[in-house]
Amino acid sequence: MPPSLDENTTTSLEQPLNDLSIKVKPRVKGGISTEFLKHLPPHSRARLERHGVDLSRGYPERPTDIPFYLDEAVAVRADEQEYIPRGKNADPEKKALLKNATAVNNLSKHIGTEIVGVQLADLNEQQLDELALLIAERTVVFFRDQDLPPAKQLEIGQFWGSQIEKHPQVPHVPGYPGITVLWPDHQILEGRKANFKQPGGASGWHTDLVHEAQPAGLTHLHNDQIPSVGGDTAWSSGYGAYDKLSPAFQEFLNGKTAIYRSAHTYIDRNDPLAGPKHIEREHPLVRTHPVTGWKTLWVNRAMTVRIVGLEPKESDAILSYLYDVYEKNQDIQVRFRWQPTKEGLGTSAIWDNRISQHNAIWDYEGKEPRHGTRVTSLGEVPHFDPTSPSRREALHLGE
């Protein structure tokens, strides 16, 4: 993530308001520069150039119209967009998707599947529809040895989502605002501090874009430069987290809503001296997945602020317990090693943010390069159906 406004961004009553803008905007400067191109990992550069990405002006590109005020940021994606639940009417056996697969490996009992022998770039809409169903059932699906053009990654995401996330602050592939660049070394070059004790960034359990009016559905991360050891990513299942709760606790949470906040902060133009503020939106604490129809617990420690209608101490205590359910139950988690992949190719992970948290593990400590491109397909307006079953109920797995 790029630098954002922090709690130290203040101004005195004697300063004119435009001084605040002068102080902060250089920290979130947009545009493109050749300054970082020489640091681009070789496998990443080869992939981008092979697939026609123009690097002549530099890499990566950051949005130039970066919101400064809170109302500007809220307005970025405020209008509801039509959402088609891909996978809802797909073949349950997924015969078209799996016909060319040489292996289909479930990496744990409840979450995570790897498909071998299938190129994502070659999939047609029927196969992508079946893949969306598999992701909705298994939470995250992996593909190694992928030769994936960034433009094709974007096209796949457009098929799956109501719209593509075009992040107003985070760098993207030049010419492709919907393809976010995940490159830890770039963040460090821009001044972000990271070390063994404070890895920062995406290290820590979280769910992406929970503050959106239509939060993230499927996220597709393709890593084209991977450390030889380390840099794994872990996912935890929201289906499993909900099923870990007692029926009485489930009933208490059903129908409750919570406040979810953005990762980045902005200035409230109506109260500029109050300091940086997050975008906040209210969504169901337990939501129903639009494809499977199963209930999922939808909280994360980083961006769930409070439960609506409860006293602060009550909310804090309950949320703390729910975070632990997600984070501490290893039987509802999967940890994926991005290596091995064939020389010059990459590995893709596609997961459903509506039913998961993830955690990027920074044990390689920046000693080797890591680079990837991410496309996030935004989903539906979150909803809760009280008649929907849990995953274990739907699959008759018992208590």
CA distance 231 to 347: 13
The pLDDT tens digits for 49-103 are 999 999 999 999 988 888 899 999 888 888 899 999 999 999 999 999 999 999 9
126-140, 155-169, 282-296: which has the minimum mean pLDDT?
155-169
The helix (run of H) or strand (run of E) holding residue 215 is none
Q: Which residues are catalytic?
A: 206, 208, 358, 374
Q: So what's the pLDDT on residue 187?
A: 79
> Which pTM does this prediction carry?
0.90
CA distance 236 to 326: 6
CATH of 17-394, one of 3.40.1170.10, 3.40.50.2300, 3.60.130.10, 3.90.79.10: 3.60.130.10
Number of other CB atoms surrounding residue 197 within 10 Å: 5
Residues 264-299 as b/e (b if ≥16 CB within 10 A, e otherwise) read bbbbeeeeeeebbbbbebebbbbbbbbbbebbbbbb
The pLDDT tens digits for 223-261 are 999 999 999 999 999 999 999 999 999 999 999 999 999
- Mean pLDDT for the chain overall: 90
333, β-bridge pairs = 236
Q: DSSP assignment of 70-130, as one string?
A: HHHHHGGG-S------TTTTS-TT-HHHHTT-SEEEESSSSS-EEEES--GGG--HHHHHH
What average pLDDT score do residues 330-350 get? 95
Roughly what angle, to the nearest 10 degrees, separates helices 150-160 and 125-138? 70
Domains of the chain by residue range: 17-394
Instruction: Tell whether omega for the bond before 60 is within 30 degrees of 0, i.e. cis.
Output: yes
